[in-house]
Each structure stands twice: as C-alpha cells, then as structure tokens.
Structure 1
Amino acid sequence: MKKMSLRWLLPLATTFLLLCHGSTGHKTVQIVELVVPESPQAGQDVTLTCRFRLLGHNHRLYTVNWWRGKDQFYTYKAASPHTGPRHAYIFAGIHVQTDQSTEESVVLRNVSEETSGVFKCEVMGEGPSFRTAVETKPMTVVVPPSSVEISSNLLRDPPLYFPGERIHLNCTASGAKPRAHITWDINGTPARKEDQSRVLDYEDHRGRVTSIVSLAFDAPRYFSNNLAQVACHARVASHTKTDSTDLYLHPASSAAYNHQYASAGCQAPTMWTMLGLASLLLAPHRT
C-alpha cells in the first residue's frame, strides 16, 4: 500500500511544480509609454511619465525606479507601509518634487543644463519572479537666448533709405545654449541666403553662446509700397524668440523702385518730386 501511494505521489508533485512554474513564467511587465521631454527650457518644472502594465494572475508591483545615467534619483516601492512608498535622492540638477510624484510619474523642479542626460524607468513586479521592464530616453535642457535684438548703423529715425543705399542689419541672440539658429524674413518671406552672413560667435564660461547674423542688401530690394517689415528669429530646439523692425523707402523715390521687378520707362512723378520741381521754379534767380 505504501509503495502504491508513493508511486502516485511523485507524478502529482511533479505536475504541481510544473503548474507553479508555468504560472510564474506567464507573469510579465510591460512599459507601454515613456514620456521624457526632449528639450525643456532651463528653469521649468518637468514631469517624467512611465506607464506600465503587470500581466499575469495576481501580479503586483514591487518597485519603480528612475535613473539618470548611473544616478538613481527616485524609487516608488509599493510595499512600504511604514516609511511610505516614495523616496527621492538629490544629484546635480535633480530635485524631485516628492509630494507631486507617483508610481507612474516624477516631477523634477527647476531643471538646468546639469539635469541633461539619459533617463531610465525600471519597473519590477513582485517576487518570486521579480519580472522587470526597462526603457530609456535622453533629455537635453536648453537655454533660449536671453535677448534677441536687431541693430543698424543708420542714425536716421525712423529708418529711411534711398534707392541704391546699402542696408546693413545685425541680429544678436545673446546667451543661448546650444547656439541659436538665426533666420531673417522680410514682409513675411525668408530673406535670400546670399544676403545673410554669420558675423560672430562668443561662448562664455558657462557654455552659453552669443551669435550675430547680418543681413545686407541694396534698397529698394525687398521693399513693397515703400515698406520692408524685417523680422529676426532665434531658435533653440523648439523655443523661438523674435525681434522685428520696419524700414522705409524715401517717398520721393520713383514708383519704379518700389518693386525689384518693376519695369523701366517713363513713370508718373510723385507728389514729392513735383513739389521739389516747383520749389526750384519759384525760387528767385540771381542776376
């Protein structure tokens, strides 16, 4: 009788172990979405999000860990009734807003250039399997220009130009990191590349760059109805700052100068031209 029971007991035990192993093997962790802002602006608060699923019967969360490079700066441990589930650690550029962080999101306060790096979310299920999923994404904190300014060596106010006069403008984008990409447009249309040139880059001890791009052309190119609305755009990642100014063509100019494609020929004199001729005719002649 004892031999018979042992003979049945061994297969039953083996089946039980296989069933246990099989159920553990079906437990998995999936990270369904990892949100790490690609290029936030220095001084902002940033939210990192790691959405996940725990698959398998009675599969519960053990811990969520966040890393920047080799620095583990946040842990959410589900089974921590005495100390609480959230634990944060301070590193250069990393300041966690603990009371606003959860098992799926971490809030970093007042990010800076030092915050930049590769961020990793690690989600682990409960034992004995401790199934784990990991995803990473980079983040580079940028510094938009502190100022963007159009300047000119013209002393006239308002800026009034004569046909054939050389117009020279500078756009200065100060203190950007990385270097700002500067573009010009006039009356809503991009200026020609051959009319633009990079003048200067200056990098300070913090790695912040001041850039100057010039725009030079002869009036009346780009003018429409004696007006050229000039704008300079300085872009760092998705952040753009703009400065703009209006340029004027002297009203005594012939209408033929108002457009670079105007046809040559006899043109009706403007009011300013007629007034000028009249003043010459009416002036007293010397004998």
Structure 2
Amino acid sequence: QMILEAKTVYCIRPNIGRLQVRKELECHFDLEGEALYSVKWYKDGNEFYRYVPRDQPPVQLFTLPGITVETHNSTESQVVLKSVELSSTGRYRCEVSAEAPSFQTVSDHGDMTVVALPKEGPQITGGRPRYQIGDTVRVNCTSGRSKPAAQLMWFINGEQANTSFLHGPQTLYTGREGLETSILGLEFRVKPKHFQRGDMKLKCLATIATVYWRSNEESVEGDKPQKAPVLESRESVPPSKSRADRVQALQYRRPIVTIVVKTADDGALLLTPSFMFFLDQFHNYSMF
C-alpha cells in the first residue's frame, strides 16, 4: 500500500503579483515511480485548470473571475496566468493524483496578492523654499492610487521623523476597483540642528510590500538672521569750500546769517559766512 506522505508536492507561486502582468504558477511533485493521473489547480476552492495526460487535449479549463490561462504555455507542472487582475488575489492550491489503482492524492497551496502600483512616485506639497529658526513646517506626502495603499514614511535630514510630528496616515478610496490614495502629514518646529549640515532635507518614502519602493526629497534653504543696520551720520562738505567753511560746518552748525558791524570810521563791515567762525573773537561791536 502506498503511503500518502511518501509522495511530495511543492506549489511555487509569486506571493505578490503586479496588475496586468503575466504570472507563472509552478507545481513540482514526486510520485515515487507511480504514473500521473491528473494535476488540478484551484483558486479559493474552485477548480480552474485540469491536466490529464491521457486525455486529448490534456488541458481543460474552467471559467473563474480573475483567471485567464495561457493554454499553450501551461503544462503538468506550470500554469501561466495572462494579465492578472485584482480579483486574481486569493489562495491557490495544486492537487496531484496518481494513476490507478491507488489514485492517491497530495496537494500544496499558497497565497497570491495582486497589487496595483501608483503611476508616479510620492508627491510633497505645502512646503516653502525657505525657513527660519522657529518657523513651523507643515507638509503633506501623497502617494497616488494603488492597491493596497502605499505605506508612507517621513525623513528629516536622513533620519526617520519622530512619530509625534506625523499626522495620519489618511486613506482615500477612488474608482470602482477601490484603488487607494495615501496621505501622511509632517509638522514640526524648525531648530538650529536642522541646518547644521547646510540645507534641510525632507524626504518621503512610499512602499508596497516588496515590489514598490519610491521616494521624493526636497531641499529647503534656511534664512540667515539679518543684522540690524548701523546708521552713521557724516557731514559732507563740497571740496570748493574753504577751510573756514569746513570749521564752521563741523564746529558750529548754526544757521547762516549775515551780520553788519559798525566800524570806528562810521563805515560798515559785512560779515559773510566765511568769517562767521571769528565771531567769538569780537567782544565790542554794535548792531544797527
């Protein structure tokens, strides 16, 4: 009597499949010298592929949503799925049976998830080109429509952002297929350490399982504090002026007036601005 455990079957399949991409399912088995009767494939308990070598043709297909088999490329040990869909996600089981008289059967299974990837990398919005110490940074990272939603992470100068800086994530569902858009906010106050290496770098990373890994990084400049302007007042004297003019302008800065002084011979002396600096030397003069 044949012992069931002596027969082995290995179901090899990609656990992750990309939307509208061709995928291969493999089933390797060892019947220990027994003849093969049939190989059957099931998705979520429903048969969709049968291979019986003694039948003509040996391949028989069964309609199932999300399953399109390339018959000419499928054999007893391989089933090729053409352009998998989101509905192709599920548990796949390979069942192998030996020929008469035993008809012993062994099987193995595995799960496959079909993912729809974003058409572009994550986008950073809401930022400013410059920040000063003490300013508040408020930015969002958005990863476009996918299935499942992308996982988002923020980095500041190459280091993962503190969870207290994060807002979200938020997931938006769109379309009849339920594609998902992910949004993760980042908010923090700018400190001197953020500009120790020059510009501050903000990076958002989006991942989906092991098949999608995209990032976007922005470099932000820091505004240096401006020094208060020093106002310096200087007198400017035209070069044509005499030394007396310069002395008058720098020392007295008095309103310029014209003074007439009566002289001893009943004449008059007109004091022009050029002679104003001598006024302090006159002690006895009379004004008209």
Percent of aligned positions that are identical: 29
Tell me which residue corresponds to 1:106: 79
2-structure distance, mates of 1:192, 1:211: 19
Q: State whether residues 144 and 235 of structure 1, in contact with CA within 8 Å, keep that contact through their aligned partners in structure 2.
A: no
The count of aligned residue pairs is 231
Which shifted more, 121-130 or 214-223? 214-223
Q: Indicate the SS of the match to 1:141.
A: strand
Alpha-carbon distance between aligned partners in 2 of 1:29 and 1:66, rounded to the nearest angstrom? 21
CA contact 2:4–2:106 (8 Å) conserved in 1: no
Alignment of 1:67-216 (within 5 A): 67-80=42-55, 83-147=56-120, 148-154=122-128, 159-198=129-168, 200-204=170-174, 205-216=176-187
Aligned-residue Cα RMSD (Å) equals: 2.5
Map of 1:64 onto structure 2: 39
Of 28, 31, 38, which aligns to 1:54?
31
The SS at the match of 1:226 is coil
Q: Describe the shift of the 1:182–1:27 C-alpha distance in structure 2 as closer, same or farther (beyond 3 A).
A: closer
State the Cα distance separating 1:166 from its structure 2 match: 0.9
Deviations 1:93-130 (A, max 9, x none): 11112222221111111111110111110101111211
- Deviations 1:173-194 (CA, angstroms, capped at 9, x unpaired): 1212222221111232211111
In structure 2, how many angstroms separate the alpha carbons of the residues matched to 1:240 and 1:283? Answer: 62
Contact persistence 1:27–1:55 (CA under 8 A): no
Are 2:214 and 1:241 aligned?
Answer: yes
Spell out, residue by residue over 1:189-241, the C-alpha distance to the aligned partner (whole angstroms, 9 max, x if none): 21111111116322124222222111111223533322122221122222223
Instruction: Look up the SS of the partner of 1:40 in the other structure.
Output: strand
Equivalent position amino acid for 1:138 in 2: D
Residues 239-278 of structure 1: pairs in structure 2 closer than 5 A: 239-250=212-223, 252-253=224-225
Consecutive unaligned residues of structure 1, counting only runs of 5 or more, are 1-21, 254-272
What letter matches 1:115 in structure 2?
S
The C-alpha deviation readout for 1:53-89, integer Å capped at 9, x for no partner, is 0114xx1111111111233221221113xx2322333
Query: Per the alignment, do residues 201 and 28 of structure 1 end up closer, same or farther by CA in structure 2, a change over 3 Å counting?
Result: closer
1:12-31 correspondence runs (5 A): 22=1, 25=2, 30-31=7-8
2: CA distance, partners of 1:191 / 1:174: 22
Structure 1 residues 281 and 72, CA gap change in structure 2 (3 angstroms): same
The 3 A distance-change label for structure 1 pair 28 and 153 is closer
The one-letter amino acid paired with 2:42 is W
Q: Is the Cα contact below 8 Å between 1:69 and 1:117 reproduced in 2?
A: yes
Distance 1:151 1:132, change over 3 A: same
SS of equivalent to 1:87: strand
TM (norm. structure 1) is 0.72
- Runs of 4+ in structure 1 deviating by more than 6 angstroms, as ranges, are 282-285
Letter in 2 for 1:36: R
DSSP-derived class of the 1:63 partner: strand
- 1:153 deviation in Å? 4.8
